[in-house]
Amino acid sequence: MTPRPSPLKPPTRRVLALGLEGSANKLGAGIMAHYPDAPPKVLSNVRHTYITPPGEGFLPRDTAQHHRQWVIDVVNKALKETGVTMQEVDCICYTKGPGMGAPLQTTALVARTLSLLYNKPLIPVNHCVGHIEMGRLITGATNPIVLYVSGGNTQVIAYSRQRYRIFGETLDIAVGNMLDRFARVIGLSNDPAPGYNIEQEAKRGKRLLPLPYATKGMDVSLSGILTNAEVYTQDTRFRPHPTDEEINEPLLDVITPQDLCFSLQETVYSMLVEITERAMAHVGSREVLIVGGVGSNERLQQMMGRMAEERGGKVFATDERFCIDNGIMIAQAGILAYRMGESADLAECTCTQRFRTDEVHVNWRR
């Protein structure tokens, strides 16, 4: 049986897309080029992150303010790096959702303004689909099971019949959200990212503390882990500011922030790998693609790699340039839709906080 031909025809000339991302605390702009006879190319990928002080999360209003303040710089830089002008760009792609309301509105407003100023078609993009399409492009994974892990999302996704279908997901809070909140509980810095700092602390953890391992079918529940980790910080054995001896001596009966980070990572990532493996077994796939900000975690990648290896498969992950929210992924997903002849009227170019991955008609895949 010969596979059906791809519905996506090669472009007749170079196509350029500007992608704008601002659904959470990262503001990004990137320019993607697709060619008739060469692989797609990332021409630029610029990002500016709103970083809050330790112990504080980012609030929608302040984040939107950050985006307004930086958006001109970020877009200009993206254009300058490529040497192309706005006139040469074929379409403007922006994140329609899901995400935080105020930052999304800011980004959509910028996209609409640029569209009117330069008379360019607008392409609204689902943020999650952006992650998936960018991951597929960078890694070359053709039809992987996707683990999408970020501040707002925890999903196991498989492609079938022109939809990215959700096989498993969190039943309560997203993994990134859980890590951010935990980082706040133990007072870790938000720079460069709370999850990154948890990963560094975890490397010095010695003691595996029991935390609720809650997989339910292909879904996970994560809020119990956060609650339990918080309870450990009230334990009399907890040392908020441990000495080197307290960190390194495995026989001392103390609980350090490093132990908590270690236990948290081991437990949570095991759960995520387990539900991914279930989905792989369910659909008979051997490839895994990890996308989303938490996907840059090396321990998660290592565990996923070990699992995939045991199944005779392979794990694909991208580095933080493409894993963490960025504009180029929006450009990539948008340019695919644009090449399929899609564009939206200005009035349709709104944004929405809720936008399921499986709502998007993926007409560029067979």
Q: Compute the distance between CA of residue 104 and CA of residue 126 in angstroms, rounded to an integer.
A: 12
Is 150 annotated as ligand-binding? Answer: yes
Pick out residues in 114-143 that bind another protein (CB under 8 A). Answer: 127-128
Q: Are residues 145 and 285 in contact, defined by beta-carbon separation less than 8 angstroms? A: yes
Say whether 152 counts as a known binding-site residue: yes
Count of residues making up the chain: 366
Cα angle at 361 between 366 and 287, to 5 degrees? 55
Identity of the residue, 218 or 340, whose beta carbon is nearer to another protein in the bound complex: 218
- Backbone φ and ψ for 114, nearest 5 degrees, come out as -60, -40
Show the site string, 71-90: x = touches another protein by CB under 8 A, - = not: --------------------
Q: Which is nearer to another protein, 162 or 302 (CB)?
A: 302
> Interface with another protein includes 311 (CB under 8 A)?
yes
Smallest distance, Å, CB 23 to another protein? 3
Q: What's the one-letter identity of residue 253?
A: D
* β-sheet with 15-21: strand ranges across: 41-49, 26-34, 15-21, 91-97, 122-126
Residue 361 binds to another protein (criterion: CB under 8 A):
no
DSSP letters of 164-216? Answer: EEEEEEBSSS-HHHHHHHHHHHTT---SS-HHHHHHHHHTT----------EE
Place of tokens 């399929």: 340
62 is an interface residue for another protein by CB under 8 A: no
Query: Which residues, 145 to 174, sit near another protein by CB under 8 A?
Result: 150-153, 165, 167, 169, 171, 174
Q: Which residues contribute to the annotated binding site?
A: 127, 131, 148-152, 180, 195, 199, 297, 325
- Interacting residues toward another protein by CB under 8 A: 23-24, 95, 97-100, 104, 127-128, 150-153, 165, 167, 169, 171, 174, 177, 208, 210, 213, 215-219, 266-267, 270, 273-274, 277-278, 280-282, 302-304, 306-307, 310-311, 325, 353-356
